[in-house]
Structure 1
Amino acid sequence: MRSHRIAALRLDEERLAADLAASEGFAYNDSYADFVSTGLLRSTMLWNQTGSLDESSLGDYEGSARPTPHGEALPYVSELIDRLFHTRYLKYARFMRLAPGSVYVPHRDFLELKGDMVRVHIPLQTDDSVFASEDDTVFRMRLGELWCLDATRTHSVGSFSARDRVHVVCDFTADSLQQVLVGELPAEPDVPAGNIALRPPLDEQRRSALLGLATILDEHTYQEVQTLLIKQHFLTEISGDEVFVLMKQIAARSGRTDLLDRATAHEEYCMVRR
């Protein structure tokens, strides 16, 4: 797995709580709704090209990011970003709230961008019922850990928690992680064994049961079937790519060519081009 933990941070709980409380009143957008199969992902820009909250999506541009009003309203988070990173390479910093019970459609990022990007996550509110994945590995990014995510690989997020997961996600244009970090990298990429989720194999009985969903698949149940498959990715040993394989197999068995076309087009959008 290319994603890895960079470091464990000591967070100031009191100052973090104040920033989290301030963020409750932010104006959020759902610009990443295309990748949420069920639930809700709300995000807002803390740093971007213009310093405006109206700029809500990623794009290529020259120069460094500017803080938005929401970034300026979070003094502790802004201090963390300034302390941890060389912000001249920063393009975007987003405050992202994932609602309980939400799951992402597996996808790859940066397909629409030209430059090399480095993505770093800072978990600010989470628990062990929230998972991330890369390819066929499912793992936890715990509170106060600093993670580098290879968003060009197939990845997803699944929350089985009772409260919002809150991360700051920073995207840099840089040749390497070392270029953007203040301080030295660890000697070896660190993926602690305790952060990896242990999942049983998807046995033939369960696979047959999933394929049997073809009997009830239609335009009204498509989203629920997709969500069920994504949850199986976090609960059993199937990769993010296999979610699409199973979705297409179920659609083909249903005899609905329109739904097979839908699954194929969605896979291309998430994995190949958009």
Structure 2
Amino acid sequence: MGSHRIAAIRLDEERLAADLAVSEGFAYNDSYADFISTGLLRSTMLWNGTGTLDESALGDYEGAARPTPHGAALPYISELIGTLFRTEHLKFARFMRLAPGSVYVPHRDFLELKNDMLRIHLPVQTDDNVYASEENTVFRMRRGELWRLDATRTHSVGSFSDADRVHIICDFTAESLDQVLSVDVTPEADIPAGNVAVRPPLGADGRRALLGLAGVLDPRNYQDIRTLLIKQHFLTDVSGDEVFTLLKEIASAGGHEELLTRATKHEEYCMVRR
């Protein structure tokens, strides 16, 4: 596993609640809509290269990040970022709000960048009905835990919660956590067993049932079937990479060449190049 928990930190509940209340009034963007199969992911930049809200997507640039107006409007979260990290290596910090019932399409990040980046998540609002994954491991990132996420590997998120999941996501140009962390912690080497979700095998009958969706697939329910397959990834031992494999097999078995092409192109965009 490339992803792992770094440490659990103590949050100032009163100050965090004040920042979360302010964030409700932010103007969010949907820059990552291509990676949402169902639901809603809203994001806004807290730190970036220009210090403006106009720069809403990741990109290469020289120098360190600067706070945006939204970053400046969240004094406690900005203080956390400045205290936990060496911000001279920070390129982007984003406030990501995932709506209940939303699922990410499995994908890999940083494909469009020249420089390697290191990503850290800090969940500030979540519960145990929200899952993340890397390849074929599904796990929970709990509130107040710092996580190193290897975004170069296939990963996804699935919310089965009734509330928004809110994460602070920071991207750095660095080769190791030692270059990034400004607090004295010994990062954990793996995902704690208590954070890992136990999923039963899909089994031969389950796989046949999913492939049987070829009999009902059409352009009007393509996205629904893709979403069902992604949810199956979080419920059984279907890997993130297998989601596209199953989707293409279903489209092929149903004789839908246009949907097979659509799935193949989307897989390439998510996994190979963009």
1:12-23 correspondence runs (5 A): 12-23=12-23
Residue 166 of structure 1 and its aligned partner are, at CA, apart by: 0.1
Distance 2:174 2:206 in 1: 44
Residues 178 and 185 of structure 1 are in contact (CA less than 8 Å); yes or no, is this contact kept in structure 2? no
Residue 116 of structure 1 and its aligned partner are, at CA, apart by: 1.3
Q: Report percent identity of matched pairs.
A: 75
Q: 1:246 — aligned with what?
A: 246
Distance 1:60 1:182 in 2: 24
Residues 100 and 163 of structure 2 are in contact (CA less than 8 Å); yes or no, is this contact kept in structure 1? yes
Find the residue that maps to 2:220 and give its secondary structure: coil
Distance 2:20 2:256 in 1: 46
Q: 1:65 — aligned with what?
A: 65
Q: 2:192 — aligned with what?
A: 192
Q: Deviations over 1:23-57 (max 9, x none)?
A: 00000000000000000000000000101101100
Over 3 Å counting, the alpha-carbon distance change for 1:272 and 1:83 in structure 2 is same
Distance 1:228 1:216 in 2: 13
1:185-224 correspondence runs (5 A): 185-186=185-186, 188-224=188-224
Matched to 2:261, the amino acid is D
Q: Deviations over 1:201-236 (max 9, x none)?
A: 001111111100001111101000000000000000
Residues 6 and 186 of structure 1 are in contact (CA less than 8 Å); yes or no, is this contact kept in structure 2? yes
Residue 186 of structure 1 and its aligned partner are, at CA, apart by: 1.9
The structure 1 segments of at least 4 consecutive aligned residues displaced by more than 4 Å after TM superposition are none
Distance 1:144 1:187 in 2: 15
Distance 2:246 2:23 in 1: 39
Distance 2:108 2:192 in 1: 24
Q: Deviations over 1:148-183 (max 9, x none)?
A: 000000000000000000000000011212101113
Residue 49 (1) aligns with residue 21 (2): no
Residue 88 of structure 1 and its aligned partner are, at CA, apart by: 0.4
Find the residue that maps to 1:62 and give its secondary structure: coil
Find the residue that maps to 2:6 and give its secondary structure: strand
Distance 2:204 2:251 in 1: 19
Distance 1:112 1:268 in 2: 13
Distance 1:136 1:77 in 2: 32
Residue 188 of structure 1 and its aligned partner are, at CA, apart by: 4.5
Distance 2:185 2:118 in 1: 14
TM-score, length basis structure 1: 0.99
Matched to 2:158, the amino acid is G
Q: 1:175 — aligned with what?
A: 175
Residue 230 (1) aligns with residue 230 (2): yes
Residue 190 of structure 1 and its aligned partner are, at CA, apart by: 3.6
Q: 1:268 — aligned with what?
A: 268
Distance 1:121 1:232 in 2: 24
Matched to 2:12, the amino acid is D
Matched to 1:153, the amino acid is R
CA-based RMSD: 0.8
Residues 5 and 188 of structure 2 are in contact (CA less than 8 Å); yes or no, is this contact kept in structure 1? no
Over 3 Å counting, the alpha-carbon distance change for 1:81 and 1:10 in structure 2 is same
